[in-house]
């Protein structure tokens, strides 16, 4: 039976999640930052583990005896990441016809050009305000954009205490925002959202650049994982380096 790990118990899983090939900021946040929920097959000698944060991340040995029980924790509509082809084969065998696949692209931090990033921040038009998100901003920040900007945290207060977000207000709206989707172990997983009326106008570039600069100034590794080509293009524009596309799984029933 899977066992849920709490607090510092999760640190035993660092070897299993070390150098996770994608969403490495979320993996670090689950193992080292106490975010989400983490399960292991055997707390005395862990061979396989499942971190459930915004995605469900498996690690360790796909042939470990406790893997089927870990699979049993999954529910429809969850998104699953599998770090190796052996994990993918095991997952496909256990969930025949119960998933759809889609492509994401993983990135790693590059050698960022601070002046270029500051130029993006300063490119917003007159009348727009880019600022760090405050506690009182969060209800509008998420209503104008998306709850995904903060929903991995236990509360709005938890987000302010441990996370960070930058939003651009214009015409009474938050037109774009960049935040820590997850944070821990010296890594910050970047979340970007833009109001649908303001797509492709440079707002996301400015907000994301502000967040990357914050990471660089505070000793954090910014982590980027792209769900679509525009996100991948923005990552490259900011200075992230692609490590290639990969397959993600969405459970359908």
Instruction: Give residue-wise pLDDT tens across range 78-125.
Output: 999 999 999 999 999 999 999 999 999 999 999 999 999 999 999 999
Cα 215 from chain centroid (whole Å): 15
Bridge pairing between strands 56-60 and 79-81: parallel
- Mean pLDDT, rounded, of the chain: 96
Same domain for 84 and 125, yes or no, is: no
6-10 mean pLDDT: 94
Any domain includes 229: no
What pLDDT is stored for residue 122 in this prediction?
95
What pLDDT is stored for residue 201 in this prediction?
83
Same domain for 125 and 217, yes or no, is: yes
Coil, strand or helix at 23:
coil
Any domain includes 85: yes
Same domain for 48 and 148, yes or no, is: no
What pLDDT is stored for residue 121 in this prediction?
96
* Structural domain of 169: 110-223
Same domain for 154 and 61, yes or no, is: no
What pLDDT is stored for residue 145 in this prediction?
97
pLDDT band per the 50, 70, 90 thresholds, residue 29: very high
**What's the pLDDT tens digit per position in 218-229?**
999 999 999 999
Final residue belonging to a domain, choices 105, 125, 141: 105
Lookup: tokens for 51? 């971190």
Instruction: Judge contact between 132 and 145, C-beta under 8 A.
Output: no
The Cα–Cα gap between 14 and 27 comes to: 9
What pLDDT is stored for residue 250 in this prediction?
98
Give the angle subtended at the CA of 195 by the CAs of 144 and 241, to the nearest 5°: 120
Same domain for 122 and 69, yes or no, is: no
Any domain includes 231: no
Any domain includes 125: yes
Instruction: Judge contact between 27 and 223, C-beta under 8 A.
Output: no
In this predicted structure, the answer to whether residue 197 has a pLDDT above a threshold of 90 is: no
Same domain for 126 and 213, yes or no, is: yes
The Cα–Cα gap between 167 and 125 comes to: 14
Give the CATH number, domain containing residue 41: 3.40.630.110
Hunting for tokens 């049993």 — which residue is that? Answer: 72
Long-range own/partner contacts, residues 90-93 (CB < 8 A, 24 or more apart): 90/62, 90/63, 91/58, 91/62, 91/249
Sheet of strand 3-5, all strands in order from the earlier edge strand to the far edge: 3-5, 37-40, 48-52, 56-60, 79-81, 241-251, 99-108, 225-226
Lookup: tokens for 243? 């490590």
Same domain for 139 and 207, yes or no, is: yes
In this predicted structure, the answer to whether residue 253 has a pLDDT above a threshold of 80 is: no
Please give the share of the chain, as a percent, with pLDDT higher than 70: 100
31-39 mean pLDDT: 97
Quick one: DSSP state of residue 96? T
45-53 mean pLDDT: 96
Q: Burial of 19 by CB count in 10 Å (0-12 exposed, 13-18 middle, 19+ buried)?
A: exposed
Per the rule left: phi > 0, alpha: psi between -120 and 50, beta: everything else, 176 is beta
Any domain includes 236: no
Residue 208: its H or E element? helix 203-217
Final residue belonging to a domain, choices 61, 76, 105: 105
**Side-chain half-sphere of 163: how many Cα atoms within 13 Å?**
32
Final residue belonging to a domain, choices 79, 105, 131: 105
């Amino acid at each position: 039976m899977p066992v849920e790990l709490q607090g510092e118990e999760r640190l035993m899983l660092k070897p299993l999640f070390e150098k996770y090939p994608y969403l490495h900021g979320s993996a670090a946040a689950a193992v080292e930052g106490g975010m989400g929920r983490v399960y292991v097959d055997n707390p005395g000698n862990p061979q396989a583990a499942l971190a459930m944060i915004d995605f469900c991340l498996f690690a360790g040995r796909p042939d470990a005896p406790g893997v089927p029980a870990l699979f049993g924790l999954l529910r429809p509509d969850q998104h699953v990441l599998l770090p190796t082809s052996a994990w993918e084969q095991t997952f496909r065998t256990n969930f025949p016809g119960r998933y759809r696949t889609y492509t994401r692209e993983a990135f790693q931090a590059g050698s960022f050009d601070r002046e270029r990033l500051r130029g993006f921040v300063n490119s917003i038009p007159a009348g727009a305000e880019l600022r760090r998100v405050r506690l009182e901003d969060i209800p509008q920040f998420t209503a104008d954009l998306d709850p995904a900007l903060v929903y991995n945290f236990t509360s709005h207060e938890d987000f302010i205490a441990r996370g960070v977000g930058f939003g651009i207000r214009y015409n009474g709206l938050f037109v774009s925002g960049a935040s820590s989707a997850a944070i821990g172990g010296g890594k910050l997983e970047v979340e970007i959202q833009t109001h649908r009326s303001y797509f492709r106008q440079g707002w996301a570039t400015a907000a994301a650049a502000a967040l990357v600069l914050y990471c660089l100034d505070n000793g954090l590794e910014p982590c980027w994982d792209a769900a679509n080509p525009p996100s991948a293009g923005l990552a490259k524009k900011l200075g992230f380096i692609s490590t290639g596309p990969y397959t993600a799984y969405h459970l359908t029933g």
